[in-house]
């Protein structure tokens, strides 16, 4: 385990990039139970509905993975499945889907911030206020937040690089 147990998070405004990051983390050995995913109900309904057509990645790295067959025909299926089994929590002004270990922390952790909105809930989990506000705005605009506690300190650096490579915004290790 990473000695500091700090989560690495980022928001992805592009569905393909969020999916590529999620899949890359799964390939690295992370499980669905270790990956945190947040998106609005509206994003889930419009971007991750069943039987969606394949989408085009928006980075050269993603294009390379697509050319190599890493995306395959089930693009969006893994992240969509996780979102489908996620818990829906209504934060003030924004009903969101949350999947992963963060669910317990937000819903049952006694933070008291859940009723105060997404920002309060994320700050309660240790995210800086600036990142929490940026994540809330991105969620409202259709973005997807992905977070994971790296297994090692070395992995933390590699995950940060992965997030940045796939246009993750407001990347944070906190």
What pTM was estimated for this model as a whole?
Answer: 0.73
Write out the DSSP string of the chain.
--SS-PPEEEEESSHHHHHHHHHHHHHTT--TTTEEEEEEHHHHHHHS-TTPPP---SSHHHHHHHHTTSSTT-TTHHHHHHHHHSEEEEETTEEEEEESTHHHHHHHS--S-GGG-HHHHHHHTT--HHHHHHHHHHHHTT-EEEEE--SSHHHHHHHHHHHHHTT-EEEEE-
pLDDT in tens, 20-62: 999 999 999 999 889 988 888 777 677 665 534 444 444 444 4
Q: Domain ranges in the chain?
A: 8-173
Q: What is the pLDDT of residues 2-30, one digit of tens each?
A: 446 799 999 999 989 999 999 999 999 99
What would the mean pLDDT of 67-72 be, rounded to a whole number?
38
């Amino acid at each position: 385990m990473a000695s500091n147990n700090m989560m690495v998070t980022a928001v992805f405004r592009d569905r393909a990039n969020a999916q590529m990051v999620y899949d890359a983390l799964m390939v690295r050995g992370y499980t669905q139970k270790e990956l945190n995913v947040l998106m609005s109900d509206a994003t889930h309904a419009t971007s991750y509905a069943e039987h969606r057509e394949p989408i085009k990645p928006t980075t050269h790295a993603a294009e390379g993975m697509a050319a190599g067959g890493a995306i395959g025909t089930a693009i969006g299926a893994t992240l969509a499945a996780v979102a489908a089994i996620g818990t829906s929590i209504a934060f003030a002004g924004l009903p969101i889907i949350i999947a992963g270990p963060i669910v317990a922390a937000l819903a049952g952790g006694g933070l008291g911030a859940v009723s105060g909105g997404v920002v309060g809930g994320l700050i309660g989990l240790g995210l800086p206020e600036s990142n929490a506000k940026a994540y809330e705005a991105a969620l409202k605009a259709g973005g997807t937040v992905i977070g994971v506690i790296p297994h090692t300190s070395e992995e933390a650096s590699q995950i940060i690089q992965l997030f940045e490579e796939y246009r993750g915004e407001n990347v944070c290790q906190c």
